[in-house]
Amino acid sequence: MKYGLSSLSFVLVFINCHIFAEQLQSSSQANILSRIRNLLNYPNVLSNWNNDTDFCNTEPSSSVTVICYEDNITQLHIIGSKGAPQLHNFSIDSFVTTLVELPSLKVLRLVSLGLYGPLPSKLSRLSSLEILDLSSNFFHSNIPREISSLTSLQSLILDGNKFTGRLPNGLGSLVVLAVLSVKNNSLDGHLPDMLGSLHNLRVLSLSRNNFTGDVPDLSGVENLQVLDLEDNSLGPKFPQVSSKIQSIVLRNNKFTAGIPEKVQSYHQLEHMDISSNRFMGPFPPSLLSLPSITYLNVAGNKLTGMLFDDNQCNAGLDFVDLSTNLLSGRLPSCLLTGPKDRIVRYSNNCLATGGGTQHPFSFCRNEALAVGILPHHHKHIPGSKVVLALIICGSIIGGVVLVCATIIVVRKFLAKIATPRKTTRSIVENAASTYTSKLFTDANKHARGRLTWTQRIAAAIGVARGMQFLHTGNVPGVFSNNIKITDILLDQNFVAKICSYNLPILDEYVKEQKSTRANYEEKFVVYDFGVILLEIISGKQINTKNEVRVIQNQLQESIMSNAMSRKNMVDPAIRNSCSDESLKTMIEICCRCLEQDTEDMPSVEDVIWNLQFAAQVEDSWRKDSSSSDASPISHLYSFKPNLSRNSNSNNNSNGTSV
C-alpha cells in the first residue's frame, strides 16, 4: 500500500513539473515576443499583444500569425503597412539576437516593418528555417554568405531592400531551395554559375537590379517554372532553360542574339516578355500558337521575317505586342478575329496591315541589312556537292600538273646559277618583314600622325573584302591564311592591301588539302580577323592569346556600359573623334569574331555588313558635326580584287587591293 502511494506521488510530481516547465517555456516565448514588439517600436499590427496574450492560441490574421507545435513557436508572420518608413532608434543586431532565441522557427516573415541595417550573419543560427521573407524593408550591404548554411531553406525572399554586391556563391549549397527572389535591390556583377546546380528551384526572380553578362546555363534546373530577369544589363545570349518553363521575363536588358529554336518546344510556356532588348533574327510565328501561351511581348527589338494571314494562334492568347520590329507580310487573321478583350499591338513594322502605323518594306530590309541580319545560307543538295567536289578535284589535279611543270623549268634554271637561293616562302616572309608597314606605323606618315577612325573602318572593310574574295572568288577557296596585322599594307591613299597573307605555295597548298580539312574552316579566318579588329580598336599590338582574351573581355563589358566607358577602351588617338554607335558596332562584331564557340561566330558576309553599317553611321555623324576629317568611305562599295605575290611596296601591286 505504501509502495502504491509512493508511486502515485511520483507520477503527480512528474506531471506538475512538466506543466511547470511548459508554463516556463510559454512564459519565456511570450517574453521574447514582447521584446520583439518593443524593438519594433510598438507597430499598430501588434497592438493586440499584451502580457496576457496566449500567443500559441491566437487567431491568425493577414497581418500577424503565430503558429506553435508542441508549445514551440514554429512560424512567425508580421506584415506591416505598405510603404512603412524606416524605424528610428532601431538596432538590427539586438533584434536578430532576440529572434534567434526562437530556435524552432521554420517560417519567418517580417515584411514592411521599416527594418534597416546590414543583415547580421547570426541569423544563420535559426538552423530550422524553411521560409525566410524579409521583403520591403531597408536592409543594405551584402547578403551575408552565412545564409548558405541554412540547408533546410526552401524559400528565400529579399525583395525591395537595398542589398548591394553579388549573389553569394554559397547559395548553391541550398539543395532544397525552390524560390529565390531578390527583386528591387542594387545587386550587381555576373550571375554565379551555381544557379545551374539548384535542381529544385521553381522560381528565380532577379529583376530590377544591376546584373550583367550572360545568364548561366539553367537547362539542368528541370523544375524551373518562373524566370524573371527584367531591368538588368544581362545578355547577349538568350537564357538556356528547361522545357517546363511557364514564364520568361527578359524585358529591358541587353540581349542581342536570336530567339533559339528550342523556345518553340516550350509547351507549358504561358507568359513571355522579351521586349526592349536588341534581339535579332527571325521571329518564329509558332510562338503565337504555343498550347499554353496567354501573354507574348516581343516589342522593341530587331526581329525580322514575314507573317501570313493563315498563321495560327492560341485561342487563349490575351495579349500580343509585336510593335517596333522589322516584320513584314500581313498580320495573322486569328489576331484580328479573336476575343474582344484581346489586346494586339503591331505598329512600327513593315506589315501590309495597319496603314499609316507601318514603315515601307524597304525600311525593314535596309535596317536588317544594316545590323547584319542576313538570310540563312541554304545547304547544297547532294548533287551540287558532287559537282563541287569534281571541280575542286579537277582544279587540284590541274594545279599539280602546272606545279610539276613549273618546278622542272625552275630547277633547270636554278642549276645554272651558282649563288645561294632562298625558298619562295622565306622570300615572301622576309620581304614582308622588311617593311614596317603596319596599319599604325604607315599612318605616322599622315598629317594627324595616326589613322582616323574613319580610315580604320575603311581599312577593316578592305581586308574583310579581300578575305571574302580569297575564300569565295577562287575554286578551291584559300583558307589557310593565318592573317596578321603585319600582313596589311596601305598605299599613299590609305587603301588597305593584303601583302603575302601567308598565301600557300601551290604545292604546299595541295599537301595541306590532303592532310587536313581544318584549314578550310572559315571560322578560323574570322577569328584571325577579330584579332586585327582588336588591334585596330585598341591601338595596341597583341602578341598572345591571353592578351586577346583580356582585351576582348574588357571590350565585352564596355558594350553593356555607357559611351564614356567604351571610349576609354579605344586608342587615345581617336577616342574623341568617333561616334559611339559606330564604335559600339565595331566592338560588337569584334567580340563576335572572337567567340570560343564557332557556332556563335559571324560569317565573313556578316562581318562586312556590320563594318559597312559602322562606316555609314560614322559618315553621317561626321556630316552632322561638320567634321573636317578625311572620309575615305565612298570607294568601299565596289571591289575589284588584285592578287599578287609581289610584296614590294609599289602602290599598285601590293597584295590584294581593296
Q: In the 8-state DSSP scheme, what is residue 241? A: B
CA dist 12 to 2, 3, 18, 70, Å? 15, 14, 10, 21
Q: Which residue has the cell 569584334?
A: 590
Q: Please state the rounded mean pLDDT for residues 566-593.
A: 88
Span 546-555, pLDDT tens digits: 888 888 888 8
| Residue type at 625 in one-letter notation | S
**CATH number of 437-501+517-624: 3.40.50.1970, 2.40.30.130, 1.10.510.10, 3.40.50.300?**
1.10.510.10
Name the DSSP letter for residue 142: P
Residue 80 clears pLDDT 60, i.e. is over it: yes
Angle, CA of 624, 628 and 633, to the nearest 5°: 75
**Which CATH number does the domain 26-282+293-301 belong to among 3.30.390.50, 3.40.50.620, 3.40.630.40, 3.80.10.10?**
3.80.10.10
Would you state the cell numbers that stand for residue 388, as one nine-digit string? Answer: 563541287
Annotated domain spans of the chain: 26-282+293-301, 437-501+517-624
pLDDT tens-digit readout, 16-75? 434 434 444 557 899 999 999 999 999 999 999 988 889 999 899 999 999 999 889 999
Region at 114 (left for phi over 0; alpha for psi -120 to 50; beta for the rest): left
**Averaged pLDDT for residues 480-495:** 65
Highest mean pLDDT among 306-320, 367-381, 442-456, 544-558: 306-320
Q: Each residue of 627-644: pLDDT tens digit?
A: 444 444 443 433 333 333
Dihedral, 346, 350, 356, 357 alpha carbons, nearest 10: 30
Q: By mean pLDDT, which of 152-161, 211-220, 426-435 is the weakest?
A: 426-435
Dist CA 67 CA 76 (whole Å): 7
Q: Which three cell numbers stand for residue 593?
A: 569574331
Average pLDDT over the chain, rounded to an integer = 79
Mean pLDDT of 153-173: 96
- Grid cell, residue 20, equals 511547470
**Domains 26-282+293-301 and 437-501+517-624 in one fold:** no
